[in-house]
């Protein structure tokens, strides 16, 4: 039986999230590797724009207009549509390892009695199953797991693959909703996560403060530069462990994996455990007063200097350019 791999997309403000473009790319790649096929699913009150975006990645998209998801939690509604598609032949479900993606995956395990491999940091096809790489035990070990049987669910962390559109756009098939698969809770209020923490993994520009910033106050220059560049603040484990900044900002083996267009690191040494979370940034700029700091090995531009001199000079230049 050739696998039929479903990418379940999530929308934010009507558009596909970056993680969903990666999930869809992965579904297509797994279909190519396994000799199967891929399709996508969007379940939203207004799915059309997101479904059109998703069709750039997979040959077929099912778009379900479900007004209920604007007032009820998403997963029970998405699960009903996945169950319908499973009855039509879908064998594997790929979803983002987000709050909603995890809800969906858990619901599907109960509904379909399928196996689940969670928090993949890499996925390839192996035999009759996706082979899922995940870090465990505080990133001290990496596991590789396959599903037993011909069906299953995988949740994928951001930046596990690079999103690449298909050679030609797919078709979109509108459907009316099934309704919730399980009792759905009502959403009373939606509150945006404070600051930019929510978007660190999707940010185009990330400005990182390492132990070199020296104190919580030292992060001011990091925050100012992030603000001037339209970027998001990140951190090393040393800064997080010192209590200068929240763990949600940590980049690296035991933090988040980022893949921005620009990574700007201030006072970051470039330890391997940090590098695994940032080394695939398109451009890496590092400021460090130690000319032998290991981050120089991965930096496109390595500035040897005191971050409290270089940082404010860069900020003044950015502000002057914006004003000028």
| Residues within the interface to ligand FAD (CB under 6 A) | 138-140, 210-212, 236-239, 250-255, 267-269, 271, 273-274, 277, 287-290, 293, 306-308
**Secondary structure element (H or E) that encloses residue 320, with its range:** helix 307-323
CA distance 142 to 121: 10
Shortest Cβ 264–ligand FAD spacing (Å): 12
Return the number of the residue (32 or 300) whose C-beta is nearest ligand FAD.
300
Return the number of the residue (17 or 239) whose C-beta is nearest ligand FAD.
239
Return the number of the residue (93 or 307) whose C-beta is nearest ligand FAD.
307
Return the number of the residue (203 or 251) whose C-beta is nearest ligand FAD.
251
Q: Is 162 exposed, middle or buried (0-12, 13-18, 19+ CB in 10 A)?
A: exposed
Got the DSSP string for 53-95? HHTTTSSEEEEEE-GGGGTB-SHHHHHHHHHHHHHTT--EEEE
Return the number of the residue (23 or 285) whose C-beta is nearest ligand FAD.
285
Return the number of the residue (52 or 271) whose C-beta is nearest ligand FAD.
271
Shortest Cβ 187–ligand FAD spacing (Å): 33
The β-bridge partners of 42 are 63
Whether 123 contacts 131, CB under 8 Å:
yes
For residue 71, the number of C-alpha atoms closer than 13 Å in the C-beta half-sphere is 3
CA distance 19 to 196: 17
Place of tokens 């003044």: 316
CA distance 85 to 60: 12
Place of tokens 């130690």: 290
Tell me the residue nearest to ligand FAD as measured from the CB.
252
Shortest Cβ 277–ligand FAD spacing (Å): 6
Shortest Cβ 194–ligand FAD spacing (Å): 22
Shortest Cβ 299–ligand FAD spacing (Å): 12
Shortest Cβ 201–ligand FAD spacing (Å): 13
Shortest Cβ 294–ligand FAD spacing (Å): 8
| Edge-to-edge strand list for the sheet holding 232-235 | 232-235, 205-209, 262-266, 283-288, 301-304
Return the number of the residue (105 or 287) whose C-beta is nearest ligand FAD.
287
């Amino acid at each position: 039986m050739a696998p039929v791999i479903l990418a379940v997309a999530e929308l934010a403000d009507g558009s596909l999230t970056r993680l969903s473009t990666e999930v869809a790319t992965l579904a297509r790649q797994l279909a190519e590797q396994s000799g199967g096929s891929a399709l996508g699913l969007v379940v939203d009150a207004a799915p059309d724009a997101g479904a059109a975006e998703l069709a750039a990645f997979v040959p077929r998209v099912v778009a379900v207009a479900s007004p209920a998801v604007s007032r009820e939690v998403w997963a029970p509604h998405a699960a009903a549509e996945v169950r319908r598609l499973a009855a039509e032949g879908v064998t594997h479900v790929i979803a983002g390892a987000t709050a909603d993606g995890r809800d969906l995956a858990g619901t599907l395990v109960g509904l379909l009695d399928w196996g689940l491999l969670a928090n993949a940091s890499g996925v390839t096809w192996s035999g009759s199953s996706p082979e899922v790489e995940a870090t465990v035990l505080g990133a001290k070990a990496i596991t590789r797991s396959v599903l037993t049987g011909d069906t299953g669910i995988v949740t994928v962390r951001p930046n596990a693959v690079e999103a690449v559109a298909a050679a030609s756009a797919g078709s979109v098939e509108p459907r009316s909703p099934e309704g919730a698969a399980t009792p759905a809770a009502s959403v009373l209020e939606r509150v945006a996560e404070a600051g930019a923490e929510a978007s660190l993994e999707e940010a185009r520009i990330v400005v990182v403060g390492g132990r070199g910033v020296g104190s919580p106050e030292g992060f001011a220059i990091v925050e100012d530069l992030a603000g001037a560049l339209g970027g998001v603040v990140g951190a090393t484990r040393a800064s997080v462990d010192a209590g200068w900044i929240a763990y949600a900002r940590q980049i690296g083996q035991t933090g988040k994996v980022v893949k921005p267009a620009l990574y700007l690191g201030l006072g970051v040494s470039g330890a391997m455990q940090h590098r695994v979370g940032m080394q695939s940034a398109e451009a890496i700029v590092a400021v460090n007063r130690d000319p032998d700091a290991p981050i120089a090995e991965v930096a496109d531009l390595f500035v040897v200097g005191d971050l409290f001199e270089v940082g404010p000079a860069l900020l003044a230049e950015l502000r002057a350019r914006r004003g000028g």
